[in-house]
Amino acid sequence: MESAGMMKMATGACGGGTPDLFCSPKVLGDAVTPGRPLAANQMLLSGPNGKFVLVFFTPPGANNTYVGVWYGKVSVRMVVWVTNREHPIPSGDADNHAATLSMSATGTLTIAKGNSAFVWSVKPATALASPTAWILDNGNLVLADVGGGMAWEGFDYPTDTLLPDMKLGINFVKGRNRTLTAWKSTNVILMHCV
């Protein structure tokens, strides 16, 4: 039985147009780097085991497209984290199938509609020499310099699912108060699955 905060997601074959939860996208690999974006019909795996997947999706009955992380090894898709939750790609855009998650040469990570208009971005505090973004085996989307430390991580911006290694509460060093927040309505993506 589903409640207002739960949604089942199934997989199937990709068709044309807007990606949806019935789409099985092609595998990009394990990282987004400058010149190697994630396209709307691709997915990013959390390493060779593919425990987590980063993918563009439009929930059934929803009006928007999101970039999110879901479990990769289960038959019923369970979205556990969403990048652009507050800045979705409106489904009325004819170019949703051409949307991308890309990275600049200095490490700015952006989600753009098919017409190249940005809907979401994150810029590291300082430029990165060899930036890359990938999904860790715990489901955390991270942006880092290949030879250095982590510049940004999705776990600092939780949605409504608590994953192992995710922390809640105030991080005084980063100046972030990490909380879980439920969706405002059933018009917007619902995150959990039973």
User: What residue ranges do the domains of the chain occupy?
Assistant: 26-178
**Residue 101 belongs to what H/E stretch?**
strand 100-103
Rg of the chain over Cα atoms, rounded to whole angstroms, equals 16
Sequence-ordered strand ranges (E) for 13-73: 26-29, 38-39, 42-45, 52-57, 64-71
Beta bridge partners of 36: 33
- CATH code given to domain 26-178: 2.90.10.10
> What pairing do the DSSP bridges indicate for beta strands 118-122 and 131-135?
unpaired
**Pairing, β 42-45 against β 118-122:** unpaired
One digit per residue, the tens of pLDDT, for the chain of length 194 reads: 232 222 223 233 344 444 444 355 566 667 999 999 999 999 999 988 889 999 998 877 777 889 999 988 888 878 888 999 888 988 765 556 789 999 999 999 999 988 788 999 999 988 899 999 999 999 999 999 987 788 999 888 888 777 888 887 877 887 777 666 766 554 454 443 32
